[in-house]
Amino acid sequence: MSDLFLDLRDKVAVADFIMENLVYVSSGDHGKAEGMVKDMHDGKKVHTDKLAEVARKIAIESLPARYALKYFFQNEGIKEEWERVVKTVRPSTAHLLKRFREAGKLESLDQVLKHAESDVALHDDERIEINEVRKHLREDYWKEHAKNLTQLVKDGQAHLVGYEHRLGKLRDLAIVLPRNLQDEVFSKLTHYEDRIYFEGELVPLEILDEEIKYYVDQKEISPME
């Protein structure tokens, strides 16, 4: 089993990611992506690398919007997310969420889901249900209130520029490093891009800066092959 959030070799998972995030990208990108996913579901031959390429493009373009929504619902939208999710999930799931939140004196849905003891209270099917409801909630909120998130989207774009600059530097470094270090850097790049672009994790830029500094130093001390 892959340790990545999105295994780019898994066509079904990649197709699902594409369709879930198309709402956050310009309409000009929809046709090609939708056509490729339709071809795949119709049994036509779709190259894995081509599908992955589309998913990566959509992940990058949609990142500012996804960042804005994540930030909003982790801050001023905490109450709204909680109320909408509890109202939408099955009554049994809502009961478990409310009981666990009250017992732990927690505030947000994230705090409930990440609590050390939540695995006992919530089973896999309930977590899947909650995550699906959250996805639809964010999509609906984006469709209705995107203009209210303009500044947060700009913040997300600034983060994206920082990520692309640093990941590009790491990629350039990998090319000039000895083979054993090349493989190490490319492996790290795969995992960083998975966490940042596909999972939407806000990885501190300082971590990438430290990686760059480390491999710059390695480049200077490594013997030429």
Segment 76-99, tens digit of pLDDT: 999 999 999 999 999 999 999 998
As a whole number of Å, the end-to-end CA separation of the chain is: 35
Looking up tokens 């898994």, which residue turns up? 10
Compute the chain's Rg from CA coordinates: 20
Give the chain's domain count.
1
Q: Other C-beta atoms within 10 Å of 79: how many?
A: 11
Is 92 domain-assigned? yes
Is the CB of residue 14 less than 8 Å from the CB of residue 55?
Answer: yes
pLDDT tens-digit readout, 187-197: 999 999 999 99
Report pLDDT for 222: 66
Round to whole Å and give the CA distance between 32 and 37: 9
Query: What is the domain extent for residue 88?
Result: 78-145
pLDDT at residue 220 in the model: 81
Distances (CA, A) of 107 to 85, 100, 164: 14, 11, 34
Contact 185, 215 (CB under 8 A): yes
Angstrom distances, CA of residue 84 to CA of 25, 72, 135, 155, 164: 24, 14, 12, 26, 34
Tens of pLDDT, residue by residue over 102-155, are 888 899 999 999 888 888 888 899 999 999 999 999 999 999 999 999 999 999
On whether residue 221 sits in a domain, the answer given is no
Mean residue pLDDT of the chain comes to 93
The residues, any chain, with a CB within 8 Å of residue 71's CB and separated by 6 or more, are 152, 155, 156
Please check whether residue 120 lies inside any domain of the structure. Answer: yes
Please, what sign has the CA dihedral across residues 114, 162, 139, 74? positive
Residue 75, pLDDT score:
94
Q: Is residue 133 part of a domain?
A: yes
Residue 202 confidence (pLDDT) above 90? yes
